Amino acid sequence: MNIKSRFKDYQVNLVSDFSFIDNITLDEKTYVVADKNVYKLYYDRLFKRISKEQLYLIEAVEENKTIKTALEICEKMTGLSARRNARLVSVGGGIIQDITGFVANILYRGIHWTFVPTTLLASCDSCIGGKTSLNYKSFKNLLGTFYPPDEIYICPVFFDTLSEKDFLSGLGEVVKFNFMYGEEGLVKIEENISKLIDRDKEVLNQFVESSLLFKRRFIEEDEFDRGKRIQLNFAHTFGHAFETMSNYEIPHGTAVAMGTVTANYISMKRGMLDEEYVQRMENVLWNIIRVNITGLHINIDTILKAIHKDKKQVDNQITAILMDRKMELHILHDLQSEEIANAVKYLFGHLKGNDN
Ligand SMILES: NC(=O)c1ccc[n+]([C@@H]2O[C@H](COP(=O)([O-])OP(=O)(O)OC[C@H]3O[C@@H](n4cnc5c(N)ncnc54)[C@H](O)[C@@H]3O)[C@@H](O)[C@H]2O)c1
Ligand SMILES: [Zn+2]
């Protein structure tokens, strides 16, 4: 799959095994940054032949997604004999992607970058689109640039070792893309959600590919998030609040799935979306939102405050993307605290029943 970009067109390779790895890592100009967990799990298959001097490991936690970590990598890389022709290969999920994309962008004003996503979320969504983000002070993703990789290798073997929490988080974005696709996407996801949850390789491959093809339409038309691409933020206004308020206990894609329930409830109450569609989407979503809200110390007031604070909110209006009865998306700027509170109350009421 080829992605057109103002920076450079880049290639997404969907592969079925790890035979690609030697080609991209065994070169003295290459520096490899990997997720510590992935390094341990895949040492024999991926990292055994890479020298220690060319390797930097990061624990994939939000606290490490900082300018400090990015500069530490720059420090190591400037010590390499290679200069502007240095190559960075990163192996991990969205956290590793966000840090290394930033490094690849600023070092020598841009070096060659290969990304190997290891989570479902990074494979089906974040690996394309070129956003890099770092957390700053208490603000998530406040610093960032646009810089796509030169090539991406997606290998579904990685999904085998994902925890249920991280796997279901990835499905949150897959489901979101399918709802955005409209009736046809909804039917497709209704028919396949059980197989996806069972990690059926063939079905997962199909959905990873179709998610990327769908996202490609938006990023090729509006790479810098000024128009059409904003629609991809469907469910994210609320999702970001759930994510931060839970101190990242609720992972990104799960927060997006919860944000979808919230957005749809508001649409339904406004008379924009019929109950039948809301029910059908919720029937899919309750399968993947396995959050026990009781242990998380989040409440409706803190969620509302977080929504107001979100960096994407301009002035005092609350902006969110809502779906109508044709499953088309609209950017609305007049959301009221009360209707959001009612929707969150409805969502939390459901999640109180979860005990896992
Ligand atoms: N740049 C973008 O466009 C974009 C888009 C969405 C999300 N994000 C960011 O991505 C981050 C979330 O990323 P994520 O959900 O991909 O995961 P992650 O990088 O946060 O990793 C989640 C966990 O999975 C582990 N892990 C990774 N691969 C594994 C594997 N194959 N087997 C076992 N464990 C594995 C990690 O060690 C970690 O414990 C957030 O910081 C979010 O802000 C960025
Ligand atoms: Zn997302």
119-149: b or e for each residue (b if 16 or more CB lie within 10 Å)?
bbbbbbbbbbbbbbbbbeeeebbebbebbbb
Q: What angle do CA 314, 135, 83 make, to 5 degrees?
A: 120
Nearest atom within ligand 1 for CA of residue 253: 15
The 10s digit of each residue's pLDDT in 92-108 is: 999 999 999 999 999 99
Residue nearest to atom 42 of ligand 1 (CA): 94
Answer whether residue 312 shows pLDDT above 70.
no
Burial class (CB in 10 A: 0-12, 13-18, 19+), 200: middle
Amino acid at 335: L
Residue nearest to atom 3 of ligand 1 (CA): 126
How many percent of the chain have pLDDT more than 70? 97
Q: What is the mean predicted confidence (pLDDT) over 66-84?
A: 90
Query: What pLDDT is stored for residue 12 in this prediction?
Result: 98
- Following DSSP, what letter does each residue of 140-153 receive, concatenated? EEEEEEE---SEEE
The 10s digit of each residue's pLDDT in 206-246 is: 999 999 999 999 999 999 988 888 999 999 999 999 998 89
Higher pLDDT, 201 or 138: 201
Nearest atom within ligand 1 for CA of residue 37: 37
Pocket test of ligand 1: the residue of 102, 118, 248 to mutate, having most ligand atoms within 8 Å of its CB, is: 118
Q: CA-CA distance, 293 to 348, in Å (whole number)?
A: 7
Answer whether residue 355 shows pLDDT above 60.
no
Pocket test of ligand 1: the residue of 58, 59, 126 to mutate, having most ligand atoms within 8 Å of its CB, is: 126
Q: CA-CA distance, 312 to 310, in Å (whole number)?
A: 5
Cα-only R_g, the chain:
20
Contacts 24+ apart (CB under 8 A), 15-22: 15/153, 15/154, 15/155, 16/155, 16/156, 16/157, 17/155, 17/157, 18/42, 18/45, 18/46, 18/155, 18/157, 20/153, 20/155, 21/45, 21/46, 21/116, 22/49
Yes or no: say if 76 and 91 are a contact pair by the CB < 8 Å rule. no
How many percent of the chain have pLDDT more than 90? 81
Span(s) in the chain for CATH 1.20.1090.10: 163-351
Higher pLDDT, 296 or 272: 272
The 10s digit of each residue's pLDDT in 111-134 is: 999 999 999 999 999 999 999 999
Tell me which ligand sits closest to the C-alpha of residue 121. 1
Query: What pLDDT is stored for residue 306 in this prediction?
Result: 86
Q: Enter the tokens of residue 353.
A: 């029943």
131 Cα to the center of ligand 2, angstroms: 11
Residue nearest to atom 44 of ligand 1 (CA): 94
Answer whether residue 311 shows pLDDT above 90.
no
**pLDDT band at 267; cut points 50, 70, 90:** very high
238 Cα to the center of ligand 2, angstroms: 11
The 10s digit of each residue's pLDDT in 187-211 is: 999 999 999 999 999 999 999 999 9
Tell how far CA 333 is from the center of its chain: 24
Span(s) in the chain for CATH 3.40.50.1970: 2-160
Query: What pLDDT is stored for residue 238 in this prediction?
Result: 95
Amino acid at 340: I
Answer whether residue 299 shows pLDDT above 80.
yes
Query: What pLDDT is stored for residue 163 in this prediction?
Result: 98
Domain boundaries 163-351, CATH class: mainly alpha
Q: What is the mean predicted confidence (pLDDT) over 330-339?
A: 92
Answer whether residue 353 shows pLDDT above 90.
no
Q: What is the mean pLDDT of the chain?
A: 93
Query: What pLDDT is stored for residue 314 in this prediction?
Result: 60
Number of other residues whose CB lies within 10 A of the CB of residue 316: 6
Query: What pLDDT is stored for residue 27 in this prediction?
Result: 84
Answer whether residue 20 shows pLDDT above 90.
yes
Query: What pLDDT is stored for residue 315 in this prediction?
Result: 59
Yes or no: say if 159 and 207 are a contact pair by the CB < 8 Å rule. no
Q: CA-CA distance, 266 to 345, in Å (whole number)?
A: 12
**pLDDT band at 356; cut points 50, 70, 90:** very low
147 Cα to the center of ligand 2, angstroms: 17
CA torsion 135-318-169-228 (nearest 10°) is: -90
Domain 2-160: which topology?
Answer: Rossmann fold (3.40.50)
The 10s digit of each residue's pLDDT in 277-295 is: 999 999 999 999 999 888 7
Query: What pLDDT is stored for residue 305 in this prediction?
Result: 87
Yes or no: say if 246 and 336 are a contact pair by the CB < 8 Å rule. no
Amino acid at 289: I
Query: What pLDDT is stored for residue 330 in this prediction?
Result: 94
